[in-house]
């Protein structure tokens, strides 16, 4: 079985700084994997290498068996690799509904059409509204994104990723900045996704991680520290040392 997303021997330097160190990571079809690690471990850099926002210094990225290392971000997205951003990247001046319709239009190749009015396809609008409904955003459909609270914007970010109908979904701290009253919405929606979709989530909230993930990868200083099931990771003394030890160290300094 070919993996949904596979990276092999990935390295990335920023000048002399070795940010990503020989990372191997496989997302099987239907994977629910969490990527955790202390701040500055290179989690977002790794996502950027997967999506093509950054090019690796060496190594390969494979999407459903195809080498996409040299493909552009847009090509990867068209092949079914979707992501959300740690900090919202939305069309702030457009309405929520337009954000979704545009995404669907680009997904279906409709946006090459210069003549047909954008609103003339009810199927597109209906689909966009379905995605909004799943995140309870319909009431805000006609508001420009910039008028929404940050937490609500976060939901739009998720809705866009879902509207891409991805095969592989990378969620970069999806719940960051979302009020706890709404963060369960995101996980509910993600849980309800097609079980075939491979999902990688970066998250600091351990409750979310342990609820969501079936496998966990721990990244420390740009390299894979360890991998395993949530139970393995919970029980792993080294991981605890990386997280707690560091904090203990800092506290010792603070007190000293």
Partner 1 sequence: MSDATLHQKTLTARQRASDYLARRHHFHWAEALPWLLAIAAFFVFSNRMAFGSQVLIMIMFAVSLDLILGYAGIITLGHAAFFGIGAYTVALASLRLGWSEPISGIIAGGVVAGLAGLVVGWFMLRYRGLTLLMLTIAFAAMLQESGNLRSDITGGYDGLPGLTFDPLFGHFQYDLYGHTNYWYVLAALAVVFYVVRRIVYSPFGQALTGIRENVRRMNAIGSPVHWRLVTVYAISAAIAGIAGALFTQTNAYVTLTVFDFDTSAKVMVMLILGGTGRLYGAFVGATVYMVLEDYLSKMSPTFWQFGIGLLLVVAVLFARRGLLGVVESASAFRWRTGAARRRFVWKTEYWKALAVAAFDGGLIGFLIGFAGNLGRADRMSLFVSAFPARVVAFIALGAAAGIVINAVYLLVTSRSAVERPAS
Alpha carbon distance 49, 6 (integer Å): 12
Give the binding range for partner 1 (CB under 8 A) out of 31-39, 112-120, 195-203, 207-215: 112-120
Classify the C-alpha dihedral 58-54-50-71 as positive or negative.
negative
Decide if residue 206 touches partner 1 (CB under 8 A): no
Q: How far is the CB of 73 from partner 1 (least distance, A)?
A: 4
Decide if residue 86 touches partner 1 (CB under 8 A): no
Q: Tally DSSP H helices, then E strands, for the chain.
A: 10, 10
Question: How many binding residues for partner 1 (CB under 8 A)?
Answer: 48
Decide if residue 68 touches partner 1 (CB under 8 A): no
* Among 22, 64, 110, 227, contact with partner 1 (rule: CB under 8 A): 110
Decide if residue 103 touches partner 1 (CB under 8 A): yes
Nearer to partner 1, 164 or 215 (CB): 164
Q: How far is CA 194 from CA 175, 189, 246, in A?
A: 20, 10, 38
Decide if residue 78 touches partner 1 (CB under 8 A): yes
Which two tokens mark 152? 């609500």
DSSP strand pairing (32-36 vs 215-220): parallel
Q: How far is CA 255 from CA 199, 200, 240, 241, 249, in A?
A: 41, 38, 21, 19, 10
* Among 10, 50, 77, 242, contact with partner 1 (rule: CB under 8 A): 77
Q: Which residues bind partner 1 (CB under 8 A)?
A: 51, 53, 72-78, 82-83, 85, 89-94, 97-98, 101-103, 105-107, 110-120, 122, 125-126, 129, 133, 138-139, 141-142, 160, 164
């Amino acid at each position: 079985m070919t993996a949904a997303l596979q990276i092999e021997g990935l390295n990335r330097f920023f000048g002399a700084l070795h940010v990503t160190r020989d990372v191997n990571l496989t997302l099987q079809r239907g994977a629910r994997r969490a990527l955790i690690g202390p701040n500055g471990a290179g989690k977002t850099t790794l996502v950027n290498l997967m999506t093509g926002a950054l090019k690796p210094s060496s190594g390969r990225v494979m999407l459903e068996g195809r080498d996409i290392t040299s493909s552009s971000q847009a090509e990867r997205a068209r092949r079914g690799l979707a992501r959300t951003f740690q900090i919202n990247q939305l069309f702030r001046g457009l309405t929520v509904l337009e954000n979704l319709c545009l995404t669907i239009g680009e997904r279906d190749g409709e946006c090459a059409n210069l003549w047909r009015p954008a609103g003339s396809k009810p199927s597109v609008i209906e689909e966009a509204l379905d995605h909004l409904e799943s995140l309870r955003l319909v009431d805000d459909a006609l508001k420009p994104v910039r008028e929404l609270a940050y937490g609500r914007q976060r939901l739009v970010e998720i809705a866009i990723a879902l509207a891409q109908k991805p095969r592989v979904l990378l969620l970069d701290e999806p719940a960051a900045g979302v009020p706890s009253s709404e963060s369960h919405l995101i996980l509910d929606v993600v849980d309800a996704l097609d079980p075939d979709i491979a999902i990688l989530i970066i998250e600091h909230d351990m409750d979310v991680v342990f609820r969501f993930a079936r496998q966990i990868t721990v990244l420390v200083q740009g390299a894979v520290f360890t991998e395993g099931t949530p139970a393995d990771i919970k029980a792993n003394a080294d991981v605890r040392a990386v997280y707690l030890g560091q904090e203990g160290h800092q506290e010792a300094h603070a007190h000293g």
